[in-house]
């Protein structure tokens, strides 16, 4: 195993992804393997969030967007949902002083009204308290799904059209984009999924049109800075062509 410093030396600091999005999967299996309750995996997952945030800031990544709880995750056993909501509220409050010290701005992405009162209040407080921060933007996708987000954008545009505030022919890709929950955040350059599954599970379907996808079997609580550095090194080995030819891209 290479140590972290050796891996960091392999990273080209002039080609750091601007935006990394992560599907943080595998907490339950991590706990199962250790004979622990699933909640222990979620608790350990908080430490992995801390590490990923720190490493993103250190690497100069501008946006880190984390899939923390999907619309579909509301269908889990009520006890697990309650534990997760409690954990999320508690973790954000505990992390807030360090987020402020590191100039990290929290941005909530999702149907936040569905989050139970106590956790929602703590989340909104953290978003407000970090509003002025100009370093890493940490997007927390909670009660989020891409189909929910796209449907909401369509609904808002339809309502504006009905009131005569926008003409249907003026609905361009960029106008649509600005009605998404991620408005103002550039598309992810790199999408990482931990936990070994090769699927998107309703995450950022619009925004990942040209993202580089990276799947790792590492379970989220085990995702350390070394694993993150390997993902960035792999990303830097790719040629992003955006529909053009290799020669065109190399001549740019």
- Which H helix or E strand runs over 29? helix 27-33
3-state helix, strand, coil in the chain (%, to 5): 50, 15, 35
Cβ(11)–Cβ(237) under 8 Å? no
Show the tokens assigned to 61: 């990544």
SS3 label, residue 67: strand
Query: By C-beta, is 73 or 236 nearer to Mg ion?
Result: 73
The string of DSSP codes covering 143-197 is EE-HHHHHHHHHHHHHHHHHTTSS-GGG--HHHHHTTSTTTTSPPPSEEEE-SS-
| Adjacent-strand bridge partners of 63 | 19, 137
Write the DSSP symbol of residue 17.
-
The token duo for 193 is 């999924």
* In the complex, least distance from residue 220 CB atom to Mg ion, rounded to whole angstroms: 9
Q: Which residues contact 140 (CB under 8 A, 6 or more apart)?
A: 66, 68, 92, 106, 107, 108, 109, 110, 123
Residues 209-238 that bind ligand IPE (CB under 6 A): 220
193, β-bridge pairs: 23, 215
- Look at residues 57, 52, 30, 56 and name the one whose alpha carbon lies nearest to residue 43: 30
Residue 102 as a binder of ligand IPE (CB under 6 A): the answer is: no
Return the residues of window 5-34 that contact ligand IPE according to CB under 6 A: 23-29
Q: Quick check: is 75 catalytic? A: no
131 is an interface residue for ligand IPE by CB under 6 A: no
Give the whole-angstrom CA distance, residue 69 versus residue 77.
14
Tell me: does residue 149 bind ligand IPE (CB under 6 A): no
Q: Which stretch binds Mg ion (CB under 5 A): 20-28, 99-107, 186-194, 224-232?
A: 20-28
145 binds ligand IPE (CB under 6 A): no
67 binds, among Mg ion, ligand IPE, none (CB under 5 to 8 A by kind): ligand IPE
**Is the Cβ of residue 73 or residue 102 nearer to ligand IPE in the bound state?**
73
Nearer to ligand IPE, 157 or 207 (CB): 207
Choosing from 23, 25, 142, 188, the residue that interacts with Mg ion (CB under 5 A) is: 25
Least distance (Å) between residue 51 CB and Mg ion: 19
Q: How many residues bind Mg ion (CB under 5 A)?
A: 1
| Contact flag: residue 69 with ligand IPE (CB under 6 A) | yes
Q: Is 25 a catalytic residue?
A: yes
Q: Which among 32, 73, 102, 202 is annotated as catalytic?
A: 73
Task: Tell me the per-residue interface mask from 164 to 203 with ligand IPE, x by CB under 6 A, - otherwise.
Answer: -------------------------------x-x-x-x--
Give me the residues that bind Mg ion (CB under 5 A), please. 25
Active site residues: 25, 73
Give me the residues that bind ligand IPE (CB under 6 A), please. 23-29, 67-70, 73, 84, 195, 197, 199, 201, 220
């Amino acid at each position: 195993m290479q140590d972290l410093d050796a891996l960091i030396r392999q990273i080209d600091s002039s080609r750091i992804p601007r935006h990394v999005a992560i599907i943080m999967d595998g907490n339950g299996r991590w706990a199962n393997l250790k004979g622990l309750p699933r909640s222990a995996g979620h608790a350990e997952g908080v430490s992995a969030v801390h590490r990923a945030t720190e490493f993103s800031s250190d690497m100069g990544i501008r946006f880190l967007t984390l899939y923390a709880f999907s619309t579909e995750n509301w269908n889990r056993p009520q006890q697990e949902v309650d534990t997760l909501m409690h954990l999320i509220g508690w973790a954000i409050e505990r992390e807030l002083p360090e987020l402020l010290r590191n100039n990290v701005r929290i941005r909530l992405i999702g149907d936040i009204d569905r989050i139970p009162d106590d956790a929602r209040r703590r989340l909104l407080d953290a978003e407000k308290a970090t509003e002025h921060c100009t370093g890493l933007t940490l997007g927390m996708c909670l009660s989020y799904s891409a189909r929910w987000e796209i449907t909401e954008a369509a609904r808002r545009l339809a309502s504006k059209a009905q009131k005569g505030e926008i003409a249907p022919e003026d609905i361009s890709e960029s106008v649509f984009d600005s009605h998404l929950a991620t408005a103002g955040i550039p598309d992810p350059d790199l999408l990482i999924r931990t936990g070994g599954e090769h699927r998107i599970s309703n995450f950022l379907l619009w925004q990942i049109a040209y993202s580089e996808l990276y799947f790792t079997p590492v379970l989220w609580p085990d995702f350390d800075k070394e694993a993150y550095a390997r993902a960035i090194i792999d990303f830097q080995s790719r040629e992003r062509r955006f529909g053009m030819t290799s020669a065109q891209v190399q001549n740019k």
